[in-house]
Amino acid sequence: MNRDRSRAEAPAAAQELPFQHRARKRFGQNFLHDAQVIDRIVRAIRPAPGQTVIEIGPGQGALTTPLLTACGALTVIEIDRDLAGQLRQRHAGEPAFTLVEGDVLDQDFAAMAAGLGNLRIVGNLPYNISTPLLFHLLKQRAFIHDMVFMLQREVVERLAAAPDSEAYGRLSVMMQYHCAVEPLFNVPPGAFTPAPKVDSAVVRLTPHRPSPFPPVDEGLFGKLVKAAFSQRRKTLRNTLKPLFPAPRLEQLPVDLQQRAETLGVSDYVRLAGILEQCGPVE
């Protein structure tokens, strides 16, 4: 790396000594250290002054300093008390730096966005909470401009998967219904300390505005998709049977002998609209 590059261009965190900290398995910690990968992620995020950026799981701060430099203000959410303390010490005296110590699954992003405009949420997400966190964020997408995350490569493949593929499932349908999914690039295990046993990937998720799909009851849509994929080896006739009255089930505009992975997102939206006409679902 050329050390004469300006602070605004260089991945500054890569030039700082990492915290003395042993990675904790219960938090799924794998710390990013590769300067080129850090630089590539920051360039993918394209943070700019005036934007409200929130970093989830800053860890040792590999992305934190370049993000703070680029956008001028940054909020980070860290559950590990030791790391939170070291981040607080490193950025002491910087009024544009805000640290929230706690579990990201407990955070109210709507409250964070109040008066500040839509949020840009980024981070190297722990593998053990990535799916619950994505669903948590979907519920609050009205306050989110976009999300750029490092995830397990397999998760990114599931997010972006097309029908009739092995990776396509409930997560694919739910995320693509709510967001545009853009896989950006893969990251090898060696970019982290300790090195995980799997490859990672960076993805951009942008909530649809406006949605390309007709409006449906989102609660029913979620129940429908969950039921359809609850037993992947069963046909739609079996998985959807508990949701639809028998006569209406046979009239659905899909082949009930197919399995859930054969239907596209628009198909599930159409079925959710029909389900809504059938009355309450337990």
On whether the CB atoms of residues 60 and 21 are closer than 8 A, the answer is yes
Do 39 and 134 lie in one domain? The reply is yes
| Residue 145: CB atoms within 10 Å | 17
- Phi, psi (deg, nearest 5) at residue 86: -70, -35
Dist. CA 103–CA 107, nearest whole Å: 7
CATH code, 71: 3.40.50.150
Q: Name every residue whose Cβ is closer than 8 Å to that of residue 173 and which is 6 or more positions away in sequence.
A: 225, 229, 265, 268
State the total domains in the chain: 2
Does the reported pTM lie above 0.75?
yes
Q: Name every residue whose Cβ is closer than 8 Å to that of residue 163 and which is 6 or more positions away in sequence.
A: 261, 262, 263, 264
Do 42 and 132 lie in one domain? The reply is yes
On whether the CB atoms of residues 46 and 25 are closer than 8 A, the answer is no
Average pLDDT, consecutive stretches of 10 residues, N- to C-terminus, the chain (282 residues): 35 46 51 92 94 93 92 92 92 92 93 86 89 94 96 97 97 98 97 89 97 95 97 94 93 96 98 88 60
* Cα 199 to Cα 58, 68, 107, 204, 235, distances in angstroms: 19, 27, 28, 17, 33
Range of the domain at 225: 218-277
Do 200 and 88 lie in one domain? The reply is yes
Structure tokens at 169: 């499932």
Which DSSP category does 92 fall into? T
pLDDT, position 147: 98
pLDDT, position 232: 87
